Amino acid sequence: MSEVQKERTKRADAVRNKDAIIDAALTCLSDDPGASMSEIARVAGVGRVTLYGHFADREELVGAVFARTMDRAAAELAAVDIKQDTWKCLRDLVQSSWRVLYQFNSLLAAAEPYLSAEQIRAHHDKPLARVIAVLEKGRSEGTFRTDQSLTWQGACFYSILHSAAAEIRAGRLTEDDAARVLPATIRALLIPPADPAP
Amino acid sequence: MSEVQKERTKRADAVRNKDAIIDAALTCLSDDPGASMSEIARVAGVGRVTLYGHFADREELVGAVFARTMDRAAAELAAVDIKQDTWKCLRDLVQSSWRVLYQFNSLLAAAEPYLSAEQIRAHHDKPLARVIAVLEKGRSEGTFRTDQSLTWQGACFYSILHSAAAEIRAGRLTEDDAARVLPATIRALLIPPADPAP
DNA sequence: GATTACTCAAACAATTATGTTCAGGTTACC
DNA sequence: GGTAACCTGAACATAATTGTTTGAGTAATC
């Protein structure tokens, strides 16, 4: 006897609604990690009961949103060709990922009560790995400074991306300006110091 | 008729408890902006009713904590002698303020539902002003790069401080390491770029 | 066009946090 | 040492959120 369940093809509106809910949850939770299920359903344009029809409880929904976001981030980062010039590589990394990576903080706050530290760490490490890989490449070439830990440089990388997103949201920076200033700032963080510190 | 109220000297244990409550609130809210009044009272080692005896409601407590923290930050920043060497000045700024300034984010999240945007802005601008002042000093001397906006550089400054505090809390950085790596990182952000960007 | 999956609003119980009241017990202060 | 200020736990009302059930309506699919 086969264990394979016959896969009922889900109805079109059902999958559409489920997607809408995840999208809405991403929006709401990025804005406020404590956003209520009602709020998310409202933004998704869907009844509250429908939401619970697709996700058993808050934990399941938050988990789905968190996982999808991390997967997307990992995919975008993985698409960067690591063989090209290191600076170009870094620029691509910034360009392709700052929009999605900046949500990490609020989303993490929403997921924290449900996921174990190791689970969070596992999800987090996947996108971080690509960044670290580029950092290591730059180090081995002598392009990047080596007097600070990889961990610290990685943290600063994320931090600056997040800062840009926050400034944009607050209306103090435009997306075009961000595209210009971000690579320059990251570059400043990583380039070897020219003169000895005073 | 004088409008002056006769100031009843508060009992010693009363002021002690009130201080303990504010301290506990600072700790709890930094950790979780949504921390409950019960939790705060527990950490303060005080009954919940006592807490409500000193602060009418959550808004009043959060307001008090937020105001005190901003005042302390402003005081610490104001204590930095702006006439000395710019790099030393910056180092002092970092040294004296990263411990208190990093709480800004979580505290802000706790205060956001109660304070208007202008009130928050007003509190925020006070400590920021000192940072901006030093940035401007460095610019006029030609010590700092001028191809990025003051706003952006200020945001990055805060962002890096916050990042260091987060890394310490996560156990990936020691306080001693932070004291070493922070000034170097801030310096890298602000020093004029040596060679043209590729 | 019939069936069935899906949706919805309303009403439900359970939980949690807020803010208040009360009655009795301490303790600082004069 | 007496008084008033202060603290306390318990109990209460209120409100918001979570997750479930119901029963009827709608629309995608065959």
Give residue-wise pLDDT tens across range B130-181.
889 999 999 999 999 999 999 999 999 989 998 998 898 889 999 999 999 9
Report the pLDDT averaged over residues B49-61.
97
In terms of CA atoms, which chain A residue is nearest residue B154?
Answer: A163
- A163 contact residues in B (CB cutoff 8 A): 155-156, 158-159
pLDDT tens-digit series, residues B81-97: 999 999 999 889 888 87
**Would you say residue A196 has pLDDT above 60?**
no
B145: closest CA among B86, B188, B181? B188
> What integer pLDDT is reported at residue A148 of this predicted model?
96
Q: Which of A89-93, A119-123, B115-119 has the highest mean pLDDT?
A: A89-93
Nucleotide nearest to A47 (CA to C1'): C8
In the structure encoding, which two tokens stand for residue B41, read together? 């009272």
- Quick one: which residue's CA is nearest to D7's C1'? B50
A51-CA/D22-C1' distance, Å = 17
Segment A12-17 mean pLDDT: 95
Residues of A in contact with B194 (CB under 8 A): 191, 194
Higher pLDDT residue, A61 or A8?
A61
CA distances from B56 to A81, A195, B50, B70, B114 (A): 58, 56, 11, 21, 14
Q: What is the pLDDT of residue B75?
A: 87
- Whether residues A189 and B185 touch (CB distance < 8 A) is answered with yes
Instruction: For A129-182, write each residue's pLDDT tens digit.
Output: 888 999 999 999 999 999 999 999 999 998 999 899 889 888 999 999 999 999
Question: Is residue B123 pLDDT above 90, yes or no?
Answer: no
pLDDT at B5 over 60: no
Protein fold of B1-56? Arc Repressor Mutant, subunit A (1.10.10)
Give the C-alpha separation, B67 to B72, whole Å: 9
Chain B, nearest residue to A151 by Cα: B172
A49 touches strand D (CB under 7 A): yes
List bases, strand C, within 7 Å of protein CB: 5-10, 16-22, 27-30
> For D17, which residue's CA is nearest its C1'?
A36
Q: Could you give the percent of chain B with pLDDT greater than 70?
A: 93
**Between A50 and A128, the higher pLDDT residue:** A50
Residue among B155, B166, B189 whose CB faces A188 most closely = B189
User: What is the residue extent of each domain of chain B?
Assistant: 1-56, 66-198
Which tokens is A138 given?
């730059």
In this prediction, what percent of chain A has a pLDDT beyond 90? 60
Q: Smallest Cα–Cα separation from B20: which of B58, B70, B64, B57?
A: B64
Q: Is B32 exposed, middle or buried (0-12, 13-18, 19+ CB in 10 A)?
A: middle
Q: Which of residues 110-129 of A touch strand D (CB under 7 A)?
A: none
Do A188 and B185 lie within an 8 Å CB cutoff?
Answer: no
Chain B residues lying within 8 Å of A167, measured CB to CB: 151-152, 155
Check whether domain A66-198 has CATH 3.30.390.30, yes or no: no
Q: What is the pLDDT of residue A195?
A: 65
pLDDT at B4: 41
- Chains A–B, number of C-beta pairs less than 8 Å apart: 83
The answer to whether B14 CB is within 7 Å of strand D is yes
| Helix/strand/coil for B143 | coil
Contact B151 A167 (CB under 8 A): yes
B136: closest CA among B98, B193, B82, B61? B82
Distance in Å from D29's C1' to A65's CA comes to 29
Nearest nucleotide to A40, CA against C1' atoms: D17
Report the candidate in A64, A78, A47 with the shortest Cα–Cα distance to residue A107: A64
